[in-house]
């Protein structure tokens, strides 16, 4: 079975890696902004360039993430028709405000339960399971912080610096989760193909035998 989320997954990994690098640079520039403003002034053009690239990459990453999560659930249901979350249900769990407080956790914990059942993906399931609480907390804390800073309800250099650090950590955590889910699906996809081939093999043998039997005629 072909894993349909592979192409998007590859792109998502690439953009998350890029986002992680850009976020790390912004942590450094924000550190100078908060604590050594004179130094920051001399590197402000770098900060501006990285900020612009980061915003565009972030928007693309969000779109890729939604497409990827949709395709991942499509793959999961192709692998096992009884998988409880539909692709559209996964998107609803992320996009609907308030419902996503439950939905975001539910998506990944359901995935962990499913991957645990397979010995080849159990290692990845364990890693994802460990990362979920960090991802969940960081996702909502960074979202809240960015909203408060954006609305100028909080304007404190320490909080600003903290928000950039948390953004970078969220990128790292999410990249690790994406890699584990990506690997797990590839393993399961390969196993599915191998299983299908082994089921087809006896049929072919019988056919050859039949042909050989028919030769004397």
Partner 1 sequence: MADKKDKTNSWINLLKKKEYVASFIILLVTIGITILLLKPYHAEFIATGGISSVEELGIDGSVYFTYVESGLTNNYYERITLEMLYDDMEFIPLDEQDLIAYEYYEEMGDQFKEDTIVNAVESASFDQLADPSSDDFLDRVWEITNSSAQYSGDSFGLMIAIGLVEELNQEDFSKDGTYVIAGTGTMEADHSVGSIGGIRQKLLTAENNGVDIFFIPKDKQYYYDISLSNEVEAEQVIAEEGLDVRVVAVETLEDAIIYLRNLP
Residue 81 touches partner 1, criterion: CB under 8 A: no
DSSP state of 84: S
Nearer to partner 1, 53 or 94 (CB): 53
Least Å from the CB of residue 137 to partner 1? 29
Stretch that binds partner 1, among 29-37, 54-62, 127-135, 200-208 (CB under 8 A): 54-62
Nearer to partner 1, 14 or 190 (CB): 14
Residue 11 touches partner 1, criterion: CB under 8 A: yes
Residue 10 touches partner 1, criterion: CB under 8 A: yes
38, 45, 198, 205: residue in contact with partner 1 (rule CB under 8 A): 45
CA 91/CA 84 separation, integer angstroms:
14
CA 209/CA 91 separation, integer angstroms:
51
Long-range contacts at 27-34 (CB < 8 A, ≥ 24 apart): 27/161, 27/164, 27/165, 27/168, 30/160, 30/161, 30/164, 31/161, 33/157, 33/160, 33/161, 34/157, 34/158, 34/160, 34/161
Residues that bind partner 1 (CB under 8 A): 7-8, 10-11, 14-15, 18, 45, 48-49, 52-53, 56-57, 60
């Amino acid at each position: 079975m072909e894993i349909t989320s592979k192409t998007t997954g590859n792109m998502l990994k690439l953009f998350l890696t890029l986002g992680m690098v850009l976020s790390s640079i912004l942590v450094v520039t924000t550190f100078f902004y908060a604590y050594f403003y004179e130094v920051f002034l001399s590197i402000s053009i770098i900060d501006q360039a990285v900020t612009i690239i980061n915003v565009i990459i972030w928007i693309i990453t969000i779109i890729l993430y939604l497409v990827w999560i949709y395709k991942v659930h499509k793959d999961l249901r192709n692998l096992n028709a009884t998988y409880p979350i539909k692709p559209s249900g996964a998107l609803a769990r992320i996009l609907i405000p308030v419902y996503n407080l439950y939905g975001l956790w539910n998506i990944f914990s359901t995935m962990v339960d499913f991957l645990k059942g397979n010995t080849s993906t159990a290692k990845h399931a364990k890693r994802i399971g460990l990362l979920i609480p960090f991802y969940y907390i960081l996702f909502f804390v960074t979202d809240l912080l960015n909203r408060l800073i954006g609305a100028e309800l909080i304007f404190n250099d320490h909080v600003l610096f903290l928000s950039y650090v948390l953004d970078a950590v969220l990128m790292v955590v999410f990249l690790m989760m994406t890699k584990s889910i990506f690997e797990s699906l590839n393993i399961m996809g390969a196993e599915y193909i191998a299983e299908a081939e082994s089921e087809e093999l006896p049929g072919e043998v019988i056919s050859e035998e039949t042909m050989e039997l028919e030769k004397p005629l």
